Amino acid sequence: MPQRRMFGSTLGLVGLGPMLMEEGDQVCIFRGARVPFIVRPTPKASAFELIGEAYLDGQMHGRLAKFHLPKEQIVLV
């Protein structure tokens, strides 16, 4: 099992993510995915690097909908 590290989000959520996470990375919920992912913005507008899967305590399986998160299209590079 890959090593994980704890993180806190600007929404006050706590989770576990990849060891490669850095400050400024973002939690992304892909439509149809079973888990959230950590992505990193790139210099190219609306483009992100996929860092890995995440776990958000108490917020799995579609429960994040209560936060009314913005929907946007992104490009993974």
Which residue from 44, 34, 36 is spatially nearest to 15, judged by alpha carbons?
36
Res 12: pLDDT: 83
Q: Flag residues of the chain having pLDDT under 50.
A: none
What's the whole-model pTM score? 0.78
Q: Show the tokens assigned to 41.
A: 């913005």
Model pLDDT, residue 63 = 56
The pLDDT of residue 7: 93
CA-CA-CA-CA torsion sign (30, 33, 36, 37): negative
Are the C-beta atoms of residues 37 and 26 closer than 8 Å to each other? no
Q: Would you state the pLDDT for residue 22?
A: 94
Query: Residue 28: what pLDDT?
Result: 84
pLDDT at 20: 94
